[in-house]
Amino acid sequence: MSPQENGIAIRIAGCLTPPERCLTPPERCLTPPEGYLTPYAEGLRLQRELHAARCAGEIGDTILFVEHTPVYTLGRSADAEHLLWNRETLKAKRIELVETDRGGDVTFHGPGQIVAYPIIDLAGRGIGVRDYVFRLEGAVIETLGGLGLDAGRDARNRGVWIGNAKICAIGIRVSRHTTMHGLALNVNTDLSFFSGIVPCGIADADVTSVAEELGAPQDMASVRDTLAAALVRWLSP
């Protein structure tokens, strides 16, 4: 898709993206074969820079896509008991643990997962916070429907579900009417990483991925571009 559609710029972080669309300096990335992964701290730095620029009117609305190195993130309402593995286990498995300022409980980010961070001026688009989350869910549901998956919402928790299994987590922050953080869609994610947490604090639910549901790994770039187009449509006034 083009770098910008309907007033929303699409930016992708990571060494293996085209240089003209990449925000991450090569020296900040990991070396191959994991050069496409973005450490969480780097992704947060990029978000904050884009957020500040959007609030200052220096850039327009933007969606930043990343694929993170393995990390558990604790949202503002996280319960420490929902982290099941101790720090020694996390170190052995090379999983970071980060407290962050998004809403929600504990979740996982890592390889095979598409993370989208929309930096959107909600007031400028006439979108309320609840409506914004509804639209994020709608874009993911549309994307998964195009892959032949019957996904939907669940009254217990925001995000996107297939039956009793969450396939996409959503956690946001809104400051000065402008969004940060966003959604994490499990595409080819190693679901064993979720064994170390109670995902989103919901003990009686499962976690799934596109690859798990379809029985085969998916092309990450293709799914990402489909999701990007859906987000642009759903976030348009």
Confidence category of residue 221, pLDDT binned at 50, 70, 90: confident
The reply to whether 80 falls in a domain is yes
Q: At 122, which CATH number?
A: 3.30.930.10
Question: At a CB cut-off of 8 Å and minimum separation 6, what does 92 contact?
Answer: none
The reply to whether 48 falls in a domain is no
Range of the domain at 118: 69-234
Q: Any idea which of 65-74, 77-86, 157-166 has the lowest mean pLDDT?
A: 77-86
H-type alpha helices, the chain: 40-55, 87-92, 122-125, 129-146, 210-214, 220-234
The reply to whether 182 falls in a domain is yes
CB 217 within 8 A of CB 119: no
Pick from 136, 134, 129, 135: nearest CA to 115 = 136
The reply to whether 73 falls in a domain is yes
Which positions are catalytic? 200
Pick from 44, 186, 218: nearest CA to 117 = 44
Helix pair 220-234, 129-146: axis angle to 10 deg: 140
The reply to whether 223 falls in a domain is yes
The reply to whether 214 falls in a domain is yes
pTM: 0.86
The reply to whether 39 falls in a domain is no
The reply to whether 215 falls in a domain is yes
- Model confidence pLDDT, tens digit, residues 177-214: 999 999 999 999 999 888 887 766 666 778 999 999 99
Number of domains in the chain: 1
